[in-house]
């Protein structure tokens, strides 16, 4: 069985990576990696679907027992990826899609260099600002923090294998799906199949 692909979608908050992630999950066979967070649920968010919502104490216990592939503090809350379900899926040949911040992308790449990392960005910073304002979840202060964070996140572009400019959502979603398809078709990701064909040809 060929191992699954681990794909990371990352980028500044407001660039639309969450929406793209959701659409890619709906339109492909990719499995979602559900993160654990200490942040309070937003309206409409569902336990076990969007996140596993935990108290800070519960979260610290999970860190102590080594349950995370990576964990990060993002805007005063903790976010982490539980290790076990990810590797179980990859071994079963399932492709797993992650939506994490740039720190998360860096730690996952470090532990799992075969991961494919995609950076999602708006066409420019003005658009990013507008989207953050329209989203209505930011105070003036957090807007400023997120905009300056966006710049330093983009500066870490070398960490990423691909960049997708999210101008038109549909175009961006298709680009991400195309990237995943191309990665799946790389010969190095099909060695078992290739060798099987060669063996049967004797």
Binding to ligand 5GP by residue 79, rule CB under 6 A? yes
CB of 95 to ligand 5GP, least distance (A): 18
Q: How far apart are CB 147 and ligand 5GP at their closest, in Å?
A: 14
Q: How far apart (Å, rounded) are the C-alpha atoms in residues 97 and 70?
A: 15
SS3 assignment for 8-76: EEECCCCCCHHHHHHHHHHHCCCEECCEEECCCCCCCCCECCCEEECCHHHHHHHHHCCCEEEEEEECC
Binding to ligand 5GP (CB under 6 A) within 20-39 occurs at 35, 39
Name the residue among 76, 50, 41 with its Cα closest to residue 149.
76
Q: Figure out which of the listed residues 72, 121, 154, 173 binds ligand 5GP, where binding follows CB under 6 A.
A: 72
Taking each continuous run of H as one helix and of E as one strand, the counts in the chain are 8, 9
Is the Cβ of residue 61 or residue 195 nearer to ligand 5GP in the bound state? 61
Q: Which is nearer to ligand 5GP, 75 or 186 (CB)?
A: 75
Binders of ligand 5GP among residues 104 to 123 (CB under 6 A) are 104
Tokens matching residue 151: 């710049």
Which residues of the chain form contacts with ligand 5GP (CB under 6 A)?
Answer: 13, 35, 39, 70, 72, 74, 79-81, 99-101, 103-104
């Amino acid at each position: 069985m060929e191992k699954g692909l681990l794909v990371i979608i990352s980028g500044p908050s407001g660039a639309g990576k969450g929406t793209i992630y959701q659409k890619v999950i709906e339109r492909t066979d990719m499995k979602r990696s559900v993160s654990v967070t200490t942040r309070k649920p937003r309206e409409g968010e569902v336990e076990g679907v969007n996140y596993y919502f935990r108290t800070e104490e519960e979260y610290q216990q999970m860190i102590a027992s080594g349950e995370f592939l990576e964990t990060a503090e993002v805007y005063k809350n903790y976010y982490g990826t539980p290790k076990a379900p990810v590797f179980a899926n990859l071994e079963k040949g399932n492709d797993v899609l992650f939506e994490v911040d740039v720190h998360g992308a860096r730690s996952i790449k470090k532990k799992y260099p075969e991961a494919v990392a995609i950076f999602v960005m708006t066409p420019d910073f003005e658009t990013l600002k507008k989207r953050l304002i329209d989203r209505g979840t930011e105070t003036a202060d957090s807007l400023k923090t997120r905009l300056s964070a966006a710049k330093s996140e983009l500066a870490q572009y070398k960490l990423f294998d691909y960049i997708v400019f999210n101008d038109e959502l549909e175009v961006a979603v298709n680009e991400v799906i195309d990237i995943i398809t191309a990665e799946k078709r790389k010969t190095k990701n099909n060695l078992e199949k290739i060798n099987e064909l060669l063996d049967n040809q004797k």
